[in-house]
């Protein structure tokens, strides 16, 4: 994946305290453009919906963490 970018659909109509809807786009090694939507469920702490590439979801979790959108773990 090259030129991977993420963004948020903050006005998606989903409850912001339980779900995050985000979009992504990237270019494959063969220079094909790819884009889509990821839906992260905060309560379940996972992406829901269609299965996505592990590299993509790992990068998305990093993006969410750096953006301050993931709750911190409390013990």
Q: Phi/psi zone of residue 17: left (φ > 0), alpha (ψ -120 to 50 degrees), beta? A: alpha
In a domain, 44, yes or no: yes
In a domain, 74, yes or no: no
What is the Rg, in whole angstroms, of the alpha carbon atoms belonging to the chain?
Answer: 13
In a domain, 73, yes or no: no
Per the structure, the count of domains in the chain is 1
Task: Determine the structural domain holding residue 14 and report its residue range.
Answer: 2-66
In a domain, 59, yes or no: yes
Residue reference for tokens 């829901």: 48
Q: CB within 8 A of 6, min separation 6: which ones?
A: 22, 23, 24, 59, 60, 63
Question: Is the model's pLDDT at 43 over the cut of 70?
Answer: yes
pTM passes above 0.85:
no
pLDDT for position 18: 84
User: Per-residue pLDDT averaged across 8-35, rounded?
Assistant: 86
pLDDT for position 72: 67
Q: Are strands 2-8 and 46-48 parallel, antiparallel or unpaired?
A: unpaired
Question: Is the model's pLDDT at 15 over the cut of 90?
Answer: no
In a domain, 54, yes or no: yes
């Amino acid at each position: 994946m090259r030129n991977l970018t993420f963004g948020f659909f903050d006005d998606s109509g989903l409850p912001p305290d339980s779900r995050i809807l985000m979009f992504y786009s990237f270019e494959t090694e063969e220079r094909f453009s790819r884009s889509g939507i990821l839906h992260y469920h905060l309560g379940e702490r996972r992406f829901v919906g269609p299965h996505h590439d592990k590299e993509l979801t790992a990068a998305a979790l990093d993006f969410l963490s750096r953006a301050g959108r993931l709750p911190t773990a409390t013990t």
